[in-house]
Amino acid sequence: MDVTRRFTENVIETMKNAIEEAGGNEVFFVGKIDENGMVVSVEIGARGNEDSVIVNNNAARTGHVLIHNHPSGNLRPSEADQSIAYNSSESSMGFYIVNNEVTDVYPVVEPIKPRKLLHTSPEEAAYFLSKDGPLAKKNKNYEERPSQIQLVKEITTALNGNKIGIFEAGTGVGKSFAYLIPSILWAVNNKERIVISTGTINLQQQLYEKDIPAAQEITGKKIKAVLLKGRQNYVCLRRLSDAVAEPSLFEEENEVINKIDEWAKTSSTGSRSDLSFNPPDNAWSRVNSESDGCMGGRCPYREDCFVMKVRKEAADANIIVVNHHLLFADIESRMSGAGYEDTAVLPPYKRIVFDEAHGIEDSATSFFSESFTRFKLLKQVNLLYRQWRGTRAGFLVQAAVVSSSEDFSEKADGAVEAIKEAIVILDQDAVLLLTDGFNVRIHHGNAQNYAEIFEDIKKLHGAVSAFVDLARNVIANIDDKDADIPAVWEAKTVLHRLESYCALFSDFINWDEHDDKVFWMQKVRLPPKTAGEEPVIFVQFYQTPLDIAPMMNKGVFEPMDSVVCTSATLRIENNFNYFMRRTGAGFAEKERLAAATFESPFPYKTNVLFGVPSDAPFPDSSYFQPYVEQTVPKLIEAAGGKTLVLFTSYDSLKYTYNATASALAGKGITLFKQGDDDRFRLLEKFKEDTQSVLFATDSFWEGVDVPGNSLSQVIIVKLPFAVPNDPVFAARSEDLEKKGGNPFMQLSVPQAVIKFRQGFGRLVRRGDDRGVIIVLDRRIVEKRYGKIFTTSVPMSRRMYNPLDQIISAIEKFF
């Protein structure tokens, strides 16, 4: 075939020279084509021998067509070539074979001609937020933020250049508008969809209900934006109908389901968050939509399906707002075979903006972890088959009515009893063995201690497998015409889950064959529901990815055209190495990476006092907790309440709360503590009572937004280092050490710094906010690594003085 119709003369010459320099052996090229289909440039991806060459996937991502030569001159595709052709067509790339002289070409797969993309001028995007732009004209008090202007330009450039942008934007920079305006302009100009992924529901709602409409008004561009939640947040009309038709044995649950049924008849969304009441999880789990239980086009309720409606809305949306968990569900589906060109969980897209990107690793770790407990397993078994007062029930019993299989009841009775016996023995043995703590990781140093557990899991695996085989036989003997009966469909869904549990049991038994996973157990203690009852104690078994970076690189950074990561806390000291290493962004070529910091415009130097008591005991001292219990009430009283106290331990929180309640009794300061109410209501009470104090741990270190008078002091009791015996943290530390790294400086400190910065950031939420941050852990000053913490937060007035002097300064400050 005439090569001049496929390649420019310069490309032909480049390939000929490269093949000659490789001694006539095979060379792998990646070509870029123009709108006419002509290859206008090539890059060498790899060099091989006379028979083969590897495919460089990193290089392949940047091009439109893969090219390699056959030294023999025979351009007929080999089996290996056919495999390359299949993979390239899956990713919409072409594949050519040429001879060594580049005088002949055989197009195995034709490339898709690229659309001409319209780049956005960074200056044009920035104009909308400038002092002369439309936002300024609508608001006479508008002040241009130089850091926001620069961030808009950087994000626009990242979209134009197909880059991975890692941008830290301090509180008050205005990062939402800084990425929304370039995203809207790009989506409108290029008819391309952009997915915005956030860490919290609050930010999702704010973007969808407030920021996106405002950004449309600013730009004058009309777009379609859709907020998508995980499927489990929507009611399934088929499952709801079944639950109403077949009431449970519990009257309270039936009442809740009937209320959901009445609401669903008039609801426009079917979303759990739109209910006027919060249904218990056991009731909601009977009626919510489930991916593995969806009948799709065969469902009798498909026309009114809430999930289908919102997905139809998303199909032609310019911007889709999701949370990290839903995005990872989509990425997992695409990596498992759905590909990147068609709809999976989400419609296809090639550009992502991660807001709250500091949480990517934790979100991915959580999503890709698997677990089982006694209760989770028995819930699925009971859905399929159960006995109650001599009556057999469950989806399998209903499905058996239309099955031609022989009566299975007696065998099923025995199989279910075997499962119950096996899981109870496993749970009891695990509870007894976990005497030293509530978490244990299985590793080569202790595996022999848990030989009994592995034997128990083997027996459980055998019992569940036998029951699955029995149920499969019932399903296999159902005629095709009855396959869409709801009970049959539900039975298949539950069977699929039980098979997934069997795969997890197998992984646990053969844990040492999975170096990329962490296997661990956690003892869970549930308080008694009523006084006088014993607490419920059971063990949860986990399988967690050791490192999500390779998965993120393969599933996100490599296949996407542009990925923008933004947060107020991404860097450690003055670099992004930790974030890039942990999330997989660091696998990308340097030329594709763009990273920058945009400082907060807020006046920390004048509005914030940062104090560390120099007379505090070190946290490992037995005097530290009594010191905390004496000091916290004094600090609260000095500030007149208005305080958020952040802990790393719930026990420390509880003891300090009790001591403070006693010390401040009758002084008009209301105390709240985490666990007294759900998070949302607790924060609302704290905001409303401007003299109140909130004692909190863990999740309250971030996502708490209390501007104004309700929050004027943040007390950080200890630097938030991860617990050394946390199973996943310990495994990642060990892995880092094996690779020659320093786990403390490369993992412990960076993790703690990010969390510390989040806690620090709770204080100043507006330009006129003033307040005090007190850290009771003097390691932040005394230890060498403390400087990493202090240089990672904005400069403010700082004190390292005895407590009495700090309290005097607080009183003067307010």
Tell me: pLDDT of 62 over 70.
no
Residue/partner pairs of 268-274 with CB below 8 Å, 24 or more apart: 269/234, 269/306, 269/310, 270/234, 270/235, 270/237, 270/306, 270/307, 270/309, 271/229, 271/233, 271/234, 271/306, 272/233, 272/234, 272/235, 273/201, 273/229, 273/233
Predicted confidence at residue 46, as pLDDT, reads: 86
Give the integer Cα–Cα distance in Å for 809 and 634: 13
- The model's pLDDT over 322-331, given as tens digits with 9 standing for 90+, comes to 999 999 999 9
How far from 71 is each of 8, 251, 350, CA to CA, in Å?
A: 21, 77, 36
pLDDT at 196 over 70: yes
Task: Single out the residue of 672, 645, 620 nearest to residue 759, CA to CA.
Answer: 645
CA atoms of 697 and 653, how far apart (whole Å): 8
pLDDT in tens, 444-470: 999 999 999 999 999 999 999 999 999
Q: What is the pLDDT of residues 346-403, one digit of tens each?
A: 999 999 999 999 999 999 999 999 999 999 999 899 989 988 777 888 889 888 888 8
Residues in contact with 121: Cβ distance below 8 Å, sequence separation at least 6, in sequence order: 156
Q: For 104-135, what is each residue's pLDDT tens digit? A: 999 999 888 877 889 999 999 999 999 999 98
339 token code pair: 């590909």
The predicted pLDDT at position 60 comes to 64
Q: In this structure, what token pair is assigned to residue 443?
A: 């590793």
- The reported pTM is 0.85
d(Cα 409, Cα 424) in Å, to the nearest integer? 22
Q: Tell me the average pLDDT of the chain.
A: 91
Rounded Cα distance, 17 and 187, in Å: 41
Q: Is 539 helix (H, G, I), strand (E, B) or coil?
A: strand
Residues contacting 379, CB < 8 A, separation 6+: none
| Position 731 pLDDT exceeds 90 | yes
Q: Is the pLDDT of residue 183 over 70?
A: yes
**Among 771, 619, 643, which Cα is nearest to 696's?**
643
Phi, psi of 38 (to 5 degrees): -85, 130
Decide: 419 and 460 in contact? Cβ < 8 Å.
Answer: yes
What pLDDT is attached to residue 484?
A: 77
Contact 771, 763 (CB under 8 A): yes
Residues 252-297: tens digit of each pLDDT:
888 999 999 999 999 989 998 888 888 888 889 889 998 877 877 7
Q: pLDDT tens, 488-514?
A: 888 998 999 999 999 999 999 999 999
CA torsion sign for 156, 159, 163, 169 is positive
Average pLDDT over residues 587-615: 94
Q: Is the pLDDT of residue 775 over 90?
A: yes
Q: Distance of alpha carbon 447 from its chain centroid, rounded?
A: 31
Report residue 437's pLDDT band, with 50, 70 and 90 as the boundaries. Answer: low
Question: Quick one: pLDDT at residue 436?
Answer: 62
Residue 638 CA from chain centroid, whole number: 40
Q: Does residue 152 carry a pLDDT above 70?
A: yes
Percent of the chain clearing pLDDT 90 (strictly above):
68
Q: Smallest Cα–Cα separation from 568: which of 413, 726, 662, 705?
A: 705
pLDDT of residue 56: 65
Query: For 143, phi and psi rounded to 5 degrees?
Result: -120, 125
For residues 451, 453, 457, 458, the Cα torsion angle rounded to the nearest 10 degrees is: 20
| Whether the Cβ atoms of residue 394 and residue 386 lie closer than 8 Å to each other | yes
Backbone angles phi, psi at 426, to 5 degrees: -60, -45
